[in-house]
Structure formats: structure tokens, C-alpha cells
């Protein structure tokens, strides 16, 4: 009996997978190339002195800006998914998002001071929010629900993400650090342009998958809803940019506002869902069980997403970058995470398959994620204690921080989405998926405040306290695992 396929999608042509997977593989590879390439040098550009081509803003503020940028990307992902589902369809959302991302990188590539940076980052937040959730959704749309190629297809797609993330710092990072910051940002723009060209040329391979909204707004309400939502969004962005550029609120105030929003939004989401009369008692219990898992995810990303700020600063300011006479660009450390995933993801997948029913439960995997990310921060302390003759971190020791973090990512991140789909109330299925993306947003938003406590001088105290506190939270989650499982009502 043949496997059911999705109508109008060419089903062969890419290692036995739908031909559209090739299109989406390279679209996401180039988008991640642009994202990680820009992110690898953003903090450096912000805090380097003007005489060195940077903007010269205070170091702690620069690191916080990188944090709230990450938080904003995840928050707009919820809106991007809604727009695709109800207005434009996933295919157009990816196209529009890619164009806006490219414009955002061009904004950063133009030497226009803080104004062009803010405009560029706002465009990147909007564009990534449109593209990121919908390109993943399109991958799923290429397969029918019972197609046994589905998981393998996502694994191939995931490799595209990490291939882009691995290559980007070597290109954009090297150009930015060694030649000119704006050339580095320009390389990110070129990468997104490549992604758009091949997406446009290969879009026919997607057939009708994601071509139309799955739950379109009624025609009689569409204009009013879009007009009101668009007006509010544009007005909000303009007010933020104007207040920040004019100095009324300042960059510090903008960071604080986004941090507050990232913390408040999930609370509102949970309150609305828990108070709904449309969910059953079992669904409410499962939602309660999801809260500690959500908070664990937020805490994980608070540490994990310090790769482009505190850890990037350590690489640049306190690591011996001379290796066999070659001055290694500090941005190259941002490739370690992606390389580790490429190597270890198949190993972890095989381990879970081998363990079968004996593998850790969902709460226990979350415990593992928190434990490893906490240990990675303690590794920084160890790294400093065995520093070289000049008192700086050895490159291999700092690289291991990223490796240990990635082990935690592989334990927590893949099961996060799975747990969300299993514990979501039926009437809030889509919104709960949006809620999941608010966890990394919350983590990075709060992280933008935590990194203000960091400096190169107090690094051992900072990484010790944050690492030990996170491990303590992992122990607390482990002790609560049995209660959480009881509230999950049979969900594994």
C-alpha cells in the first residue's frame, strides 16, 4: 500500500523526500546564515569605540540590546503565525518576511549610527517573525500526517538550520572583525538575498502547501481587523523608535520596556486559558503541569542565549585568540553550537531510540537541559581558573562552554514543542504553540536585565551565581517531577 501524499506537492526529488524540502532547506539555511552572521558581531559593533568603527555605547547596554532583540524575534513569531493562518498564507509570509529581513540587514550595513541600527533591528524582528514560524510549518505541509518520512524530513531541514549557523560566523564574523563591521552586516544581507532567489525559483515545488490561509478572516471583517491591527503595530513601533532616538526614553528605557513585555505576555496567556470555561478539568490540570516546564524553558534560554552577549564578550575581551600564530576572530566561537548539534543530534536521537520506554520522562529531560546549561556556566569559572600565562581563557576551554550548553539544548529544546502539543487544551491548540515561543522570549527579555550584572572583572562571581542558581532550579524540578507527571494525566 502506498503512503498517502499531499496533493500538488512533487513527492520525489530530494533524497526520497518531496522536492519542496530542497527549497525550504536552502531558504532556512540562508536565513539562519544571515541571522547568526549578524548576531555574531552585533554586540561588538555596538560597544566597540567609535575610533574602531563601532558605536561606543556602554558595554552592559550593548549586551542587553542583543538580549531584547532575541526576545522581540520570538514575540513577533506569534503574530507571524497568526498572519499566515488568517491573512496571507505561509508561502507569502515566508516571501515577505525574507524581503523585510534583507532590508533589515541592509539597514545595519549602512553607516547611519544608532538610528540605522534601530531601524535595521526593527525590520529584522518583523521579518523574522513572519518567516521563521511559517517556513517550519511549510515543511510539515509537504507530508500527510501518517507519512513515515515526516520525522526524517524535519531532521534534514534541521541540518539546514545548523549548516547556516555554522558557516555564518566564518564569513560575516571575519569580514566584520577583520575588515569593516558594515561589510559583515552586508554579507548577512547577501545571504538572505540568495535565500530569496532560490525560494522564488523553487516555490513551484511547494504546490498548494501553505498557499492560502488555513483559517482566513471573514471577508466582511478582514479590512477592519487588518487596518486596526496594522495601525496599532506601526504606531507602537514608531513611538518606540522616536522615544528612543529622541532621547526621551533612551536605549536603556527601551530595553527595560521590552523586558517587561516579555515577562507579562505569558502571564496574560496563562491567565486567559486557565480561566476559560471551554477547557475540561483534565486539560486545566495539564496546563498547570505545563507551567513549570514553561518556566524551565525560559530559564534555560536566559542562559543559553548569552552566547551572543556575555560569552561573545568573554571571547573578545578575555580569551587568548592567538592559535599557532593566527589571530582567531572572536565571532568564530558562535559556530561551536551549530557544529555540536550537527555532530551530536543523531547520537542523541539514537540514544532515545535505544532506551525506548526506559528513556527519561519529559520533566526529567527538562531537568537535564537545565542541569547542563547550569554546568556550562560553572565551566566558565573552571576555564578561568586554568587560564593561560596571560590570565586569559584558553580557546578550547571556552569552546567547551558552548558544547556543554548544546548537550542541554538537545535534551530540552526538541521535547519542548512536543510537550506543548501534548498538554495543550483542544480549544487553545494553536495559541499554546504561540505560548511556547514566548518562553525563550521571556528568558531573553529577563536575561537582558541579568547581563547588566556581568563584567569581565566579576565574571567568576557572575557565572558562579547564575550557574548554581540554575542547577538548584533543576533539582527543584526533579523533586517536583512526580507531581508534574500526575497532573499530566498519562501524557509521557
User: Per-residue pLDDT tens for 376-412?
Assistant: 999 999 999 998 778 899 999 999 999 999 999 999 8
Contact 340, 403 (CB under 8 A): yes
Q: With pLDDT > 90 as the criterion, what percentage of the chain qualifies? A: 58
The residue to which cell 525563550 is assigned:
440
pLDDT at 389 (0 to 100) = 76
pLDDT at 86 (0 to 100) = 80
pLDDT band at 2 (very low <50, low <70, confident <90, very high): very low
Determine the Cα–Cα distance for residues 241 and 379; give it in Å rounded to an integer.
Answer: 39
Measure the CA dihedral 94/97/98/104, to 10°: -170
| Mean pLDDT of all residues belonging to the chain | 88
pLDDT at 88 (0 to 100) = 84
pLDDT at 24 (0 to 100) = 93
Lowest mean pLDDT among 92-106, 148-162, 269-283, 469-483: 148-162
The DSSP secondary-structure symbol of 210 reads T
pLDDT at 415 (0 to 100) = 79
How far out from the chain centre does Cα 321 lie? Answer: 27
Determine the Cα–Cα distance for residues 324 and 335; give it in Å rounded to an integer.
Answer: 20
Contact 434, 81 (CB under 8 A): yes
pLDDT at 154 (0 to 100) = 80
pLDDT at 379 (0 to 100) = 98
Backbone φ and ψ for 2, nearest 5 degrees, come out as -80, 150
Coil, helix or strand for 326? strand
Determine the Cα–Cα distance for residues 38 and 171; give it in Å rounded to an integer.
Answer: 10
Backbone φ and ψ for 419, nearest 5 degrees, come out as -65, -35
Helix axes 395-423, 336-355, angle to 10 degrees: 50
Output the nine-digit C-alpha cell for 372: 547542563
Determine the Cα–Cα distance for residues 157 and 169; give it in Å rounded to an integer.
Answer: 20
264-492 is a CATH 1.20.1250.20 domain: yes
Output the nine-digit C-alpha cell for 311: 560569552
Coil, helix or strand for 300? helix
pLDDT band at 10 (very low <50, low <70, confident <90, very high): low
Q: Which of 41-55, 73-87, 220-234, 346-360 is predicted most confidently?
A: 41-55
**Tally of CB atoms within 10 A around 145:** 8
pLDDT greater at residue 48 or residue 8: 48
- Residue range(s) occupied by CATH 1.20.1250.20 in the chain: 7-216, 264-492
Is the model's pLDDT at 433 over the cut of 90? no
HSE-CB at 23 with a 13 A cutoff on CA atoms is 28
Contact 205, 18 (CB under 8 A): yes
pLDDT mean over 171-198? 96
pLDDT at 14 (0 to 100) = 66
pLDDT at 491 (0 to 100) = 77
pLDDT mean over 465-473? 98
pLDDT band at 228 (very low <50, low <70, confident <90, very high): confident
pLDDT band at 1 (very low <50, low <70, confident <90, very high): very low
pLDDT mean over 291-317? 96
Determine the Cα–Cα distance for residues 172 and 182; give it in Å rounded to an integer.
Answer: 9
Contact 78, 127 (CB under 8 A): no
Q: Is the dihedral of CA 39, 41, 44, 50 positive or negative?
A: negative
Is the model's pLDDT at 4 over the cut of 70? no
Determine the Cα–Cα distance for residues 455 and 452; give it in Å rounded to an integer.
Answer: 8
End-to-end CA separation in angstroms for the chain: 31
Output the nine-digit C-alpha cell for 215: 483559517
Task: Among 3.40.50.880, 3.40.1260.20, 1.20.1250.20, 3.40.50.970, name the CATH number for the domain at 7-216.
Answer: 1.20.1250.20
Lowest mean pLDDT among 147-156, 369-378, 465-474: 147-156
pLDDT mean over 351-375? 88
Coil, helix or strand for 481? helix
Output the nine-digit C-alpha cell for 123: 525590520
Contact 101, 39 (CB under 8 A): no
Is the model's pLDDT at 186 over the cut of 80? yes
**Tally of CB atoms within 10 A around 410:** 23
**Tally of CB atoms within 10 A around 70:** 25
HSE-CB at 228 with a 13 A cutoff on CA atoms is 5
Amino acid at each position: 500500500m502506498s503512503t498517502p501524499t499531499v496533493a500538488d506537492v512533487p513527492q520525489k526529488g530530494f533524497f526520497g523526500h518531496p522536492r519542496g524540502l530542497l527549497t525550504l532547506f536552502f531558504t532556512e539555511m540562508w536565513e539562519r546564515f544571515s541571522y547568526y552572521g549578524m548576531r555574531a558581531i552585533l554586540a561588538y559593533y555596538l560597544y566597540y569605540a567609535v575610533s574602531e568603527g563601532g558605536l561606543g555605547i556602554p558595554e552592559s547596554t550593548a549586551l542587553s540590546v542583543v538580549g531584547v532583540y532575541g526576545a522581540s524575534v520570538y514575540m513577533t513569531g506569534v503574530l507571524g503565525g497568526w498572519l499566515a493562518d488568517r491573512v496571507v498564507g505561509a508561502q507569502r509570509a515566508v516571501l515577505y518576511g525574507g524581503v523585510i529581513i534583507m532590508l533589515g540587514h541592509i539597514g545595519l550595513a549602512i553607516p547611519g549610527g544608532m538610528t540605522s541600527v534601530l531601524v535595521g533591528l526593527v525590520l529584522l524582528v518583523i521579518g523574522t517573525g513572519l518567516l521563521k514560524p511559517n517556513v517550519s510549518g511549510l515543511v510539515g505541509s509537504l507530508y500527510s500526517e501518517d507519512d513515515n518520512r515526516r520525522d526524517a524530513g524535519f531532521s534534514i531541514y534541521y541540518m539546514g538550520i545548523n549548516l547556516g549557523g555554522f558557516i555564518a560566523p566564518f564569513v560575516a564574523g571575519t569580514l566584520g572583525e577583520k575588515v569593516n563591521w558594515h561589510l559583515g552586516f552586508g554579507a548577512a544581507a547577501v545571504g538572505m538575498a540568495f535565500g530569496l532567489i532560490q525560494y522564488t525559483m523553487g516555490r513551484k515545488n511547494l504546490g498548494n502547501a501553505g498557499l492560502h490561509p488555513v483559517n482566513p478572516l471573514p471577508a466582511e471583517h478582514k479590512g477592519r481587523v487588518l487596518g486596526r491591527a496594522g495601525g496599532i503595530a506601526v504606531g507602537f513601533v514608531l513611538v518606540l523608535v522616536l522615544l528612543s532616538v529622541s532621547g526621551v526614553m533612551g536605549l536603556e528605557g527601551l530595553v527595560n520596556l521590552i523586558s517587561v513585555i516579555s515577562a507579562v505576555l505569558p502571564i496574560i496567556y496563562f491567565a486567559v486559558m486557565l480561566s476559560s470555561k471551554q477547557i475540561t478539568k483534565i486539560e486545566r490540570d495539564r496546563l498547570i503541569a505545563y507551567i513549570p516546564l514553561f518556566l524551565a524553558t525560559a530559564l534555560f534560554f536566559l542562559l543559553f542565549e548569552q552566547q551572543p552577549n556575555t560569552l561573545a564578550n568573554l571571547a573578545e575581551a578575555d580569551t587568548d585568540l592567538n592559535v599557532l600564530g593566527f589571530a582567531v576572530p572572536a565571532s568564530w566561537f558562535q559556530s561551536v553550537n551549530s557544529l555540536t548539534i550537527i555532530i551530536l543530534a543523531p547520537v542523541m536521537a539514537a540514544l532515545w531510540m535505544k532506551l525506548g520506554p526506559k528513556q527519561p520522562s519529559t520533566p526529567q529531560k527538562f531537568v537535564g537541559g537545565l542541569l547542563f546549561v547550569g554546568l556550562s556556566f560553572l565551566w566558565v569559572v573552571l576555564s578561568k581558573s586554568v587560564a593561560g600565562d596571560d590570565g586569559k581563557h584558553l580557546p578550547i576551554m571556552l569552546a567547551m562552554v558552548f558544547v556543554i550548553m548544546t548537550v542541554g539544548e538537545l535534551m530540552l529544546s526538541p521535547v519542548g514543542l512536543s510537550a506543548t502539543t501534548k498538554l495543550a487544551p483542544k480549544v487553545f491548540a494553536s495559541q499554546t504553540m504561540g505560548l511556547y515561543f514566548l518562553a525563550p522570549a521571556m528568558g531573553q527579555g529577563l536575561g537582558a536585565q541579568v547581563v547588566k550584572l556581568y563584567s569581565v572583572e566579576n565574571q567568576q562571581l557572575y557565572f558562579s551565581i547564575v550557574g548554581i542558581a540554575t542547577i538548584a532550579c533543576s533539582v527543584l524540578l526533579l523533586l517536583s517531577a512526580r507531581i508534574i507527571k500526575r497532573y499530566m494525566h498519562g501524557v509521557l
